[in-house]
Amino acid sequence: MPWSAVLLGVFLTTASLGQVTIRALAGSVVVDRASPTMATAMVVVENGTMYDVYLVGAAAEVAGAVEIRETPRGASAATVVKEVAVPAFGQLEMSHDGVHLVFKKLKRPLKSGESVPLSLFADNGLTLTVQVVVK
């Protein structure tokens, strides 16, 4: 699949609710040349607690919708999932061939150098909002 623009950013955002803390460590968004109104996003989310945390949604101002998708091992296509676990004392590293986010209905072209907010929603009420920079 060809890609035209890449959003890359290194960011560290922490959110906590009681004893639960999760952090978004790094991320990128890639726009699909064949379908310029869609993009794929990957982030690394760290969970430093003794409880699994489940990501249940995401949103971006530049997209009409953001879906959580997963490509099961051996499958050629990704499917929409309702939640994805960030394991206790572990991390979730999103990738094209695993769990990733799909930005649907991009509202405008993305420009190199701009900063784009991305919000991740967890089942425990946490919201992580991070900035990624278009490179």
Q: Which residue has the tokens 């530049």?
A: 62
pLDDT digits (tens, 9 = 90+) for 33-77: 667 788 888 888 888 888 899 999 999 999 999 999 999 888 888
In angstroms, the CA 101 to CA 135 distance is 19
Domain ranges of the chain: 3-134
Count how many Cα atoms sit within 13 Å of the Cα of residue 75 in the half-sphere of its side chain.
12
The residue among 107 and 130 whose pLDDT is bigger is 107
* The CATH classification of domain 3-134, taken from the options 3.40.50.620, 2.60.40.1890, 3.80.30.20, 3.40.50.300: 2.60.40.1890
